[in-house]
Structure 1
């Protein structure tokens, strides 16, 4: 979670070489950033599926081990140091399969973590000016991973990237160029169907903005591509509260989950605008999800005015509740909400009653004391 008022902004420009054209998922072309100090290509293996598609898609036998080769090329007149790493495929908060999940928790459906089966002997490589070097890695196929795929990506990132700061504005910008080459391994080419679950639904924040998060989980060892998600949330306690979300091009990695964020507050930059406070109470979520485009698919819907068919469809319904304490906490930390704590009339009435009772007791005491004094004077 980001801090409410960041003092220091880190802008990161990442140039991905997603040399990844998984025919059931992606269609990337080789891309080289003109400002990058190096580039990377792979050496195709004999057991490569679908030809030279720019990423490793390997058919391997149980317990088989294989060496992978990459060609690193320094395109500059100075030496360059490159960090090489590997991460399993995960799904980020935008619903995109990524390969930078070092700090991400493993999904509870993940039986075989590909990170445990990949070895990189040399993780730091220094290339002399205008030089080239072949680097190695190895991968081993688990014995019983007979269904579906294991997926991850090799990341190549320049080390000690120069930072450019603007002291007067308190801004630091780092230009970071990263190349990613995907690795997909499988024991057979049988099709595995994605399986989508809806887990917890709760209030939260993304970039210090109030959202309602619905955790989606793909528990199958296969990519879920072309996700077309429509989410509608309505207030049960307050029927005038309605929030919606729609995205027709999302992709989930195998055995992964992410929090789909339905906006409550205004997103992005604001000009003289404020968001309405998140209200506590009971809500209901309705979600419709299509997956995997197919001209012969059983399910169809309209996308940008065009009829699109899909192989899979899921419908989810879920009731959930946002407590007053949670709503107050989120509203206070959302800079777009001019939030005032709601008046607690019950507390005010309770305090008033206590004061009235104390006052009555005091008046009764004073009255009794006067009567006692008057009686003593008469005697």
Structure 2
């Protein structure tokens, strides 16, 4: 199960790390009879037409009473290439057959108040469909502490997530990467290649790395390379991965030669995708940050010197008139 854990906690650990000091609360799963293993998250195997409860314990480590909101959310892959649980209704992948939200029986949101130094348990019920589903269905329990201190309309909020993974058989599948589309845009003067990516299988895919070469089709020259490491993809998820390029691309036709590799499962995928950079994408903010200043520093410096000299001259003239 180490392979699965790596993918699930690529995001959850970051959430916990952020929450460690400022939130002053901790969250832990309560042992579940249907768990395949007790791994710091819920890894459940449930038969069709059965139910189970997922229970967490929240400890308020602050010196004051705290209010906590717990949401049972769908897992998705964020644009950073990590598994996230912080959206109630994320955009789901087109290949999804069984959503996590459909397995939640009753409410998917609860609010509790916990006194300082106390611990409280919160449970949610899961109900399996009559027909078995393939692979894994994945979600997460997101715990948010709402501070009593507000600044204007903004409330201080921190969160911790506990993943929930459900399967119905012992069979283990493998994730499948698909590159749907490559496109290009400028963002604050920086060239960004947008990779619309899918995990088309109902199984989490950890430890994914993507690399690629961008070829200018007019002369087959490699104009830029791209690389993104240590990603994790939720089952049946779709996301847009933005990858910055070292130099903004000129208008023209290009081909991306793309390779995705999942080291934990020894899988490799290769794709070739054509895309076009239009003239208006180049002329609008075409220079990268700092380029304009580097190219124009000389005349800008001269302009500043002239302005200072003019200011001093006016000041001297004013003094002479006053005398």
Using structure 2 for the length normalisation, give the TM-score. 0.77
2:31 to 5, 30, 44: 44
Residue equivalent to 2:271? 316
Structure (1/2) with the larger helix percentage: 2
1:256-267 aligned at under 5 Å gives the runs 256-264=237-245
Shift of 1:314: 0.7
Q: How far does the alpha carbon of each residue in 1:32-64 deviate from its partner, in whole angstroms, 9 at most, with x for none?
A: 7133232222211111102x2111111101121
Root-mean-square deviation (CA, aligned residues, Å) is 3.1
Q: How far does the alpha carbon of each residue in 1:235-291 deviate from its partner, in whole angstroms, 9 at most, with x for none?
A: 2246566121223421111111222323136xxxxxxxxxx5542210010011111
Change (3 A) 1:208 1:112: farther
1:79 aligns with 2:65: yes
What secondary structure does 1:325 align onto? Answer: helix
1:247 to 209, 228, 238: 228
Shift of 1:185: 0.6
Query: Structure 1: how far apart are the matches of 2:26 and 2:55?
Result: 14
Change (3 A) 1:104 1:210: farther
Determine if contact 2:76/2:237 at 8 Å carries over to the other structure.
yes
Higher-Rg member (1/2):
1
**Which structure is richer in relative contact order (CA contacts within 8 A, separation 6 or more)?**
2
Change (3 A) 1:192 1:206: farther
Residue equivalent to 1:54? 40
Determine if contact 1:85/1:120 at 8 Å carries over to the other structure.
no
1:193 to 154, 174, 180: 174
Query: Structure 2: how far apart are the matches of 1:158 and 1:71?
Result: 14
Query: Structure 1: how far apart are the matches of 2:240 and 2:21?
Result: 35
1:157 to 132, 144, 149: 144
Change (3 A) 1:145 1:198: farther
What secondary structure does 2:71 align onto? Answer: strand
Residue equivalent to 2:311? none
Query: Structure 2: how far apart are the matches of 1:103 and 1:336?
Result: 39
Determine if contact 1:244/1:263 at 8 Å carries over to the other structure.
no
Determine if contact 1:209/1:336 at 8 Å carries over to the other structure.
no
Structure (1/2) with the larger strand percentage: 2
Change (3 A) 1:95 1:122: closer
1:113 aligns with 2:99: yes
Query: Structure 1: how far apart are the matches of 2:33 and 2:70?
Result: 24
Query: Structure 2: how far apart are the matches of 1:229 and 1:109?
Result: 21
Change (3 A) 1:72 1:256: same
Residue equivalent to 2:211? 230
Using structure 1 for the length normalisation, give the TM-score. 0.67
Query: Structure 2: how far apart are the matches of 1:116 and 1:336?
Result: 50
What secondary structure does 1:116 align onto? Answer: helix
Query: How many correspondences in the alignment?
Result: 286
Residue equivalent to 2:82? 96
Unaligned runs of 5+ in 2: 294-323
